[in-house]
Structure 1
Amino acid sequence: MAHDLANVLGDVGPLLFYLAVWGLVFAGTALFVGVFIPFITGDSLLFAAGLLTGTHPELSIWVLAVGVGIAAVLGDQVGFWLGRRFGRPYLTRRGGRWVQAGVRRAERFYELFGWWSVVISRYIPWGRVFIPPIAGISAMRYWRFLTANIVGALSWGVLITVIGYFAAVNPSVRPVAYIVAGVVIAASIVAGIRAWVLDRRSRRREAEETAEGAR
């Protein structure tokens, strides 16, 4: 990923490099690109962009990181309004069985965690794509969604990008930066597993209640 971004930077220069990274982050949620290529629009992209910025003095980490955060917020806003405007059929048309399974997981995740689901989902590949439109479909109040969106998108965008930057520029900080990046990724995985476990328990409980009611 870092090698590919270096090629982009060499070909187009700093401004278009920023726009390319921001555009991918925005498209990952607003245009559902993250469903099909999560590693090109998610954590790997941000970490690689931060690494590259640390080795190219013509790039500014704060311009990159703040722009990533804003692009992430705007992408989620588009997803939220699409869900509110077009409802559940909007997600039903998104594709095959794998996509629909992700939609169902996100719906259950939203039911379980509410406001926090919007924050946490930014660190989960399928969550960051599906939670915003589901929040819109569920008629979550806009200002409530906006606050969760800002907290989740800005913390995710700025944190991972800056970690990548410090992993490149400061040898003494590099091991810590890699550890923090690993913790963030591990936390994303744990959050996803926890949501899956809670979903399984809830489904099992519903099935048992249905069976008891049928007796």
Structure 2
Amino acid sequence: MIIIDFILHVDEHLLYLVQQYGAGIYPLLFAILFIETGLVVFPFLPGDSLLFAGGALAAISDSLSLPLILVTCVVASILGNTINYSLGRHFGTHALYEGKLSRFIKAEELQKAEDFFNEKGKFTIFIGRFLPFIRTFVPFIAGSTKMNRSTFMFYNVISGCCWVFIATLAGYFLGNIPFINAHFSMIMLVIIFVSLLPMLISVAKGWRARRQAQ
């Protein structure tokens, strides 16, 4: 319940943490992004909304440095993907389908990421970074298929920088707009809903397919 509450009210929790701990927020940002991108069993963490909220708070708080937020989040996202790739290279996707991790991961979401990877190839590393849930599985799948490490790292670094800069700077420049500032929590919920939409559609399709099979 604590995790769900944090995801749904990430802006309020970040603001509280900034007020209480100031610079102590940077390790938290790093940890959340690293876990989302580096550990394949946590695709639900709010990467997009976290970056947007971090940028918006940097615009209104003297306690936060925008450059430091950008550097922290870029390093976390690149390092997380690198670890995820290495895990996939070592264990392979069978660990997700059949191993102990399978109980934490929906096979439909994993299959969707595999199909996307097979269709787009190496460009999946870049494109997938902007797609919630898929971005968590793609590095693991890239590792399991033994994608060339240099090729992976090239797209990993480029996509990590683009994703963090776009989402964070959007929050930074839009956060001061009166309408957005006044409805910030609602906008965060919209971002989270859009992030979760692919999973919700997948679950709905699975439920419908099971009903039709009966």
TM-score calculated relative to the size of structure 1: 0.74
Aligned to 2:119: 112
Residues 61 and 54 (structure 1), Cα distance of their counterparts in 2 relative to 1, 3 Å cut = same
Distance across 1 between alignment mates of 2:12 and 2:95: 36
1:6 aligns with 2:15: yes
**Helix, strand or coil for the counterpart of 1:34?**
coil
Aligned positions, number: 181
Residues 103 and 2 (structure 1), Cα distance of their counterparts in 2 relative to 1, 3 Å cut = same
Is the Cα contact below 8 Å between 2:40 and 2:140 reproduced in 1?
A: no
Superposed CA offset, 1:3-24 (max 9, x none): 110111122221x201101110
Is the Cα contact below 8 Å between 2:78 and 2:157 reproduced in 1?
A: yes
1:138 aligns with 2:127: no
Larger Rg: 1
Aligned to 1:68: 73
Give 2:170's match in structure 1, choosing from 150, 163, 168.
Answer: 163
* Worse-matched range after superposition: 157-166 or 129-138: 157-166
> Which ranges of 4 or more aligned residues in structure 1 deviate by more than 4 Å?
187-190
Alignment of 1:25-44 (within 5 A): 25-32=33-40, 34-35=42-43, 37-39=44-46, 42-44=47-49
Q: CA deviation at 1:170?
A: 6.2
* C-alpha RMSD over aligned residues: 2.9
Q: CA deviation at 1:58?
A: 2.3
Distance across 2 between alignment mates of 1:147 and 1:69: 14
Q: CA deviation at 1:117?
A: 0.5
Aligned to 1:77: 82
Tell me which of the two structures has the higher relative contact order, counting C-alpha pairs closer than 8 angstroms and 6 or more residues apart.
2
Q: Which runs of 5+ in 1 are unaligned?
A: 175-180, 197-215
Q: CA deviation at 1:38?
A: 3.0
Residues 17 and 33 (structure 1), Cα distance of their counterparts in 2 relative to 1, 3 Å cut = farther
Superposed CA offset, 1:160-210 (max 9, x none): 011101112466xx9xxxxxx9xx99x9899x69xx9xxxxxxxxxxxxxx
Distance across 1 between alignment mates of 2:158 and 2:59: 25
TM-score calculated relative to the size of structure 2: 0.75
1:46 aligns with 2:51: yes
Distance across 2 between alignment mates of 1:7 and 1:58: 12
Q: Which letter maps to 2:70?
A: A
